[in-house]
Amino acid sequence: MLDLSPEELTAIGLSLKVAFWAVAASLPFGILTAYVLSRGRFPGISILDALVYLPLTLPPVVTGFILLILFGRRGPIGAFLAEHFGIVFAFRWTGAALAGAIMGFPLLVRAVRLSFDTVDRRLEAAAGTLGASPVWVFLTVTLPIVLPGVLAGVIMAFARAMGEFGATITFVSNIPGETQTLPTAIYTLTQVPGGDAAAFRLVGISVAISMGALIASEYLARRLGKRVE
């Protein structure tokens, strides 16, 4: 049943790679943003809040189009990064990862922020009296306590990045071996005669990966949750 063609295997591998880097690269920013949104008291915080959650409400095609304009070869950010750092997003797998990161970001931030909101600030004060500076308090008290929330956010963002379609296909198109991920591969297969069987196989794999991620996160969250109860 699972005799996958090399193209299908490539799409699966690429999807995992794209989703992994999307989450890994956005995680530090996600934690920082969540911390600022949870603790920050400054004018304009509601604008930041809205900006972070925007990809959740915008049509993905719009997000993809904005990315294309900003990060394309001639886009202001894309041109700058290509010239000074040699980082190119347009029509590369890195672009798919960027699209996945942007789409998963609100889910990541939301989960982590809810965790920060529940942290007992008095524990942080206690750590301060024991000699820990604010950075150490964050690393040794706050972060370990919010770990279950971070984990939940990571899984949600990973799943979102795996499933990203609209923004990806708009931004980096659907190039086999470079930007063709599971969803775009399935879409392609449904467009050709006789592609149904292959589409079914990939759908099955999609379902398996998503289920596996959810079960794993549930299990880990419960174990971590027990520790910090």
Positions in the binding site for another protein (CB under 8 A): 120, 122-123, 125-134, 136, 140-141, 144-145, 227-229
Closest CB to another protein among residues 45, 123: 123
Closest CB to another protein among residues 145, 167: 145
Q: How far is the CB of 229 from another protein (least distance, A)?
A: 6
Q: How far is the CB of 41 from another protein (least distance, A)?
A: 17
Q: How far is the CB of 24 from another protein (least distance, A)?
A: 24
Q: How far is the CB of 113 from another protein (least distance, A)?
A: 19
CA angle 228, 119, 107 (to 5 degrees): 95
Would you list the DSSP string of 44-100?
THHHHHHHHHHHHHS-HHHHHHHHHHHHSTTSHHHHHHHHHH----TTSHHHHHHHH
Q: Measured between alpha carbons, how far is 229 from 224 in angstroms, rounded to an integer?
A: 9
Q: How far is the CB of 145 from another protein (least distance, A)?
A: 6
Distances (CA, A) of 39 to 12, 83, 110, 144, 166: 39, 37, 14, 17, 33
Q: How many Cβ atoms from other residues are within 10 Å of residue 196's Cβ?
A: 11
Would you list the DSSP string of 138-176?
IIIIIHHHHHHHHHHHHHHHHHHHHH--HHHHHHH---T
Q: How far is the CB of 57 from another protein (least distance, A)?
A: 35
Closest CB to another protein among residues 84, 226: 226
Closest CB to another protein among residues 129, 191: 129
CA angle 90, 48, 89 (to 5 degrees): 10
Closest CB to another protein among residues 5, 140: 140
Closest CB to another protein among residues 47, 135: 135
